[in-house]
Structure 1
Amino acid sequence: MLVRLHFYAGVLVGPFLLVVAASGFLYALAPTIENVIYRDTLFVDSDSSTTVPVSEQVAAARQQQPDGTLLAVRPAPGPGDTTRVLFGVPGLGESERLAVFVNPANAEVTGEIAAYGSSGALPFRTWLSHLHRSLHLGEPGRIYSELAASWLWVIALAGLVLWFTGRRNGSRRKPQRSGSARRRTLSWHGALGTWVILAMLFLSATGLTWSRFAGENVGELKAALDWTTPTVSTKLDATGHGGHEGHTMPAGADPAVTSWDQSLASARSAQLDGPVEIAAPKKAGTTFVVQEIGKQWPTQADSVAVDPATGKVLDVQRFDDYPLAAKLSRWGIDGHMGLLFGLPNQLLLAMVAGVIVAMVIWGYRMWWQRRPTRGHAFRLGRPARRGTWRGAPIPALAALVVVAIGIGIFLPLFGVTLLAFLVLDLLVGLYRGRSSESTAEQGDELLV
């Protein structure tokens, strides 16, 4: 039964896995490539730690973009880096903000580029992200990546069981260089799959958290178990401040000039020492939010709410206090994107993606090598032998059905396609059964 499942899933889902792995290979290296493409905008020829106030940098960006809605500021994380001042402007895509880059040493603007998501991806990485996620087809295109993520773990685990339970000679962890062509192909397919099995399971699980249908179920499960990522409270009290009299910022207006410097200083005093984003109040009666945005290990994701008038820290949320599931989710997402350990993370993801591409190609090659070569002008490889599942114990089959239904409900695309595979298998069986009966009847007629 595992052989048939691995066969059908591999043949029919293989193209989706091939595309998602190939695009993932490119995306894994994108953060490093991005730094080269946009070097003149992202970096300045200055290693001085002396900078002008953040408020002056914001003012320079505002002159460059007078009509945009000022949303947030990402002060330069280190010498030689530029500051990002983020605006909302018409015409940008979902989750995109216009980033105006400012030299922190002299407040000169070095460029403006659309930035995507919390990682601040620039157009090159954004294009690859949409290719990997949806083939640039919008919401309908997300089905392809969810289908690949839903089946990757099934194909991988079934293949691992088959590889270690099959009757084969030689090492299961080293490819064989002798024997028939099909045996060598199988050896490479199985051995390399063994080495990257954990990475494939990791990519499947983390990929599903972003998916359209399964992702909603994951979100509902996290909410029900209180595994969601906690956030700071941004609401000011009835006086408009954290216990102080005064006036709130009018809705839609830029924060006071000094508020940016004040909020950054307050965050530093609260031990937010890494790269941060200072988000402006979203509406009247709310606070600034300063959030650590460093993605590398060890993770720093503390956040504080700051009174826009006084600079007082009103609420603090430490990453150390996150629920374990929220921490795992953060690490998983950053690891999937190649950000958790920087360049080593990216190289590892690229290697795994390359292995998955090779395994899909080897899988199709084995199917081709199994084709009948006598008496047929053209036929594809034979599927695994039918009917062996009938010998399995009834309790085991019943348990398998219950588990499959449960997984199919939680992962809807997996459930629908699994049902389609079963129907296809049934139709193939009926067709072959009728063909065999027809052949037998013709043989009886000849005998008569």
Structure 2
Amino acid sequence: MPALPDDPHRSTATVTAEAPVPLPSGDAGPSRSRQGVWALLRRLHFYAGVFLAPFLLLAALTGLAYTVTPQLDQLVYGDELRVERTAGQPHSLADQIEAARTAHPEGSLAYVVTPPTAEDTTRVVLDVPGLEDDRQRTVFVDPYTNEVKGELITWFDETPLTTWFDDLHRNLHMGEVGRLYSEVAASWLWVLVLGGLVLWLGRARGQRAKSVRGVLVADRSASGVRRTRSRHAVTGVWLSVGLLGLSATGLTWSHYAGDRFGSLLDAVHAHAPALDTSLPSSGEESAKAGGEHAGHGAGHEGARGDVAGFDVALAAARDAGLGGVVILTPPTDEGDAWSVVQDDRVWPVHLDQVTVDAQTGEVTAHSRWLDYPLLAKLSKLGVAAHMGILFGVANQIVLAAIGIGLLLVITWGYRMWWQRRPTRDNRRTTVGRAPTRGTWRELPLPVLFLGIPAVAALGWALPVLGVTLLGFLVVDGLAGVVQRRRHA
């Protein structure tokens, strides 16, 4: 958003954005090249704020709604998710699965999720023909009574309500086309944040006597546009770390930038380790990756009659140190082992994986969270924090605060644009005019020679950022040509 430094030639009533803005520095005469860098940054921040704030507004609103989905799930689906009593020992997984299959014999058994706490139900997940892509039927079973508490159509273990809010945040329920909105927001958010920080810190540098307070505390003595700018910038400073984190983690699972990130993980061999699920005696060499949702979407007709294997696999996994919630997936072929994956993404996370030979109860392979490459760890931790899972309720509160703060920053940014409108002369414009066009001509040659390849590389790494920036440059250039012809 347009956080512009104060201009001694501009009053709060009349704004002439075409006038050059002096570089806030202690030097007596700032060089033209330094002014060019400053002016170009102001123009980029202004236009990015004006045109991309609507995307950020949608992301903030939908993300804010998503943060409360765990509480909404308990409110809406409490009968399915919770048990009424916890007395006695739970039944075996085999008995619970048989109860679920008796009530819902349709489809095939995909995997089973153990209860997160003693007050939760067991989830028996079925692949059922006719459902949408990646959708499954989850049957909720009371582990103490074997009573089927209900069933829901789920997406990677998410309830219908959470899935709806997830889709709203990711793509506005518009499929792949809608995903562009969230990638635009994530791609430009870090540019706006870093640009705003440079502008605000540069302004404070020119006021050394109160620079620290001026950076971190809004100026209540100011009025008009200066007061709005102070609130806008100071709030942005406090939110900067969180906003940069949301931008980075959002890009890792976006469409185009996410593909680039995946290529980076491939190049540096930083993916989460994959487990070989083939049994040692099978003679098969194919490696089948275990993951957070191992086995999702796969049919397991061969394992339907051998539900006792779930208890064997669970016991072996517990002996191997896998505590908390685990996902148990039966083998797809006779020569495969059972897959057991920890799904504990609350700090300190536990994401170990094992494969088990149900005939002998032996663990045939073990992947430990501590052995994950650094980038794989950071990616999983970042995604968990982005979803409000990593630190539980505290994580949700922080995300909600960031979302509300971003809404305020956007509101104050547009208010500045309105407050900077001319009120005494040049009344043809109803809002503040943009900083001067053509500031790139004032850049020193070394900046141009280094900047152009850097921007091109950035555009390759973040394709949506590159395409939208190129589109803006083309439109802005054409607008400049038209304006010059009108003046001529």
TM-score by length of 1: 0.91
- Partner AA of 1:22 in structure 2: L
Q: Within the alignment, does 1:3 sit opposite 2:42 as a pair?
A: yes
**What do the CA deviations read for 1:191-242 (whole angstroms, capped 9, x no partner)?**
010011111111111111111111111111101110111122101245489x
User: In the alignment, is the contact (CA less than 8 A) between 1:9 and 1:155 conserved in 2?
Assistant: yes
Deviations 1:345-395 (A, max 9, x none): 011011101111221121111111122224536523211123433222110
1:152 has 2:189 as partner? yes
User: TM-score scaled by structure 2?
Assistant: 0.84
2:204 corresponds to 1:204: no
Moved more, 33-42 or 230-239: 230-239
Query: Which of 44, 54, 59 is the matching residue for 1:15?
Result: 54
Counterpart position of 1:366: 416
Deviates more, 1:29-38 or 1:150-159: 29-38
**Partner residue in 1 for 2:340:** 290
Equivalence for 1:267 = 317
Equivalent in the alignment of 1:443: none
Q: State whether residues 49 and 78 of structure 1, in contact with CA within 8 Å, keep that contact through their aligned partners in structure 2.
A: no
Q: Which of 258, 267, 280 is residue 330 of structure 2 equivalent to? A: 280
Aligned to 2:276: 233
Moved more, 309-318 or 386-395: 386-395
| Shift in alpha-carbon separation, 1:430–1:28, aligned structure 2, 3 A | same
Which residue number corresponds to residue 351 of structure 2?
301
Deviation, structure 1 residue 155: 0.8
Deviation at 1:342, TM superposition (A): 0.6
Residue 388 of structure 1: aligned partner: 439
- Pairing partner for 1:140 from 174, 177, 202: 177
Percentage of matched positions with identical amino acids: 43
Do structure 1's residue 399 and structure 2's residue 447 form an aligned pair?
no
Structure 1 range deviating more: 297-306 or 166-175: 166-175
Relative to 1, partners in 2 of residues 1:420 and 1:239: Cα closer, same or farther, differing over 3 Å? closer
Give the structure 2 partner of residue 177 of structure 1: 220
Distance 2:419 2:133 in 1: 46
Shift of 1:272: 0.5
Deviations, residues 27-64 of structure 1 (Å, cap 9, x unaligned): 11212221222111111121336111111000011112
Instruction: State the one-letter code of the partner of 2:276.
Output: S
Q: Summarize deviations over 1:65-86 as a string: whole Å, max 9, x none.
A: 1012101111223221110001
Retained in 2: the 8 A contact 1:17–1:152? yes
Which deviates the most, 47-56 or 99-108? 47-56
Aligned to 1:67: 106
The answer on whether the counterparts of 2:112 and 2:125 sit within 8 Å (CA) in structure 1 is yes
Question: Would you say 1:100 and 2:139 are equivalent positions?
Answer: yes
Closer, same or farther: CA 408–127 of 1 in aligned 2, 3 Å: same
The structure-2 alpha-carbon separation of the partners of 1:273 and 1:198, relative to structure 1 and needing over 3 Å to count, comes to same
Instruction: Give how far 1:176 is off.
Output: 2.2
| Residue of structure 1 equivalent to 2:19 | none
CA deviation after TM superposition for structure 1 residue 183, in Å: 1.2
Q: Retained in 1: the 8 A contact 2:93–2:310?
A: yes
Structure-1 separation of matches of 2:436 and 2:221:
26
Moved more, 382-391 or 342-351: 382-391
Counterpart for residue 395 of structure 2: 345
The partner residue of 1:189 within 232, 238, 245 is 232
SS of corresponding position for 1:178: coil
| Amino acid in structure 1 at the alignment position of 2:198 | V
Structure 2 unaligned runs (5+)? 1-39, 285-298
Alpha-carbon distance in structure 2 between the residues aligned to 1:307 and 1:255: 16
The one-letter amino acid of 1:276's match is V
| Partner-residue secondary structure (3-state), 1:84 | strand
Whichever residue aligns with residue 159 of structure 1, its letter is G
Aligned pair partner of 2:407 in 341, 357, 370: 357
User: Measured at CA, do residues 312 and 294 of structure 1 come closer, stay the same or move farther in structure 2, by a change above 3 Å?
Assistant: same
The structure 1 segments of at least 4 consecutive aligned residues displaced by more than 6 Å after TM superposition are: none
Q: 1:96 to 1:49 in 2, by over 3 A?
A: farther
Who is 1:413 aligned against? 464
**What corresponds to 2:12 in structure 1?**
none
Q: CA separation in 1, counterparts of 2:144 and 2:185? A: 47
The count of aligned residue pairs is: 429
- Please report how far the alpha carbon of residue 251 of structure 1 lies from its aligned counterpart in structure 2 after TM superposition: 5.2
Partner Cα distance (1:395, 1:402) in 2: 12
Matched residue SS, 2:389 = coil
Instruction: Give the SS at the match of 2:321.
Output: coil
Residue 294 of structure 1: CA displacement? 0.9
* 1:176 partner amino acid: D
* Unmatched segments (≥5 aa) in structure 1: 242-248, 438-448
Amino acid in the other structure paired with 2:462:
L
8 Å contact from structure 1 (residues 46, 79) kept in 2:
no
Q: Secondary structure at the match of 1:389?
A: helix
The aligned counterpart of 2:199 is 162
> For 1:320, what is the secondary structure of its paired residue?
helix
Instruction: Report if the CA contact (8 A) 1:48-1:79 is conserved.
Output: no
Distance 1:434 1:180, change over 3 A: farther
Distance 2:253 2:53 in 1: 20
State the alpha-carbon separation in 2 of the partners of residues 205 and 94 from structure 1.
Answer: 28
User: Do the aligned partners of 2:109 and 2:300 also contact (CA within 8 Å) in 1?
Assistant: no
Q: Are the counterparts in 2 of residues 41 and 111 from structure 1 also a CA contact under 8 Å? A: yes
Residue 131 (structure 1) aligned with residue 179 (structure 2): no
2:91 is matched with: 52
1:427 and 2:478 correspond? yes
- Output the CA distance in 1 between the equivalents of 2:56 and 2:329: 38
Matched-pair contact (CA < 8 Å) for 1:255–1:280: no
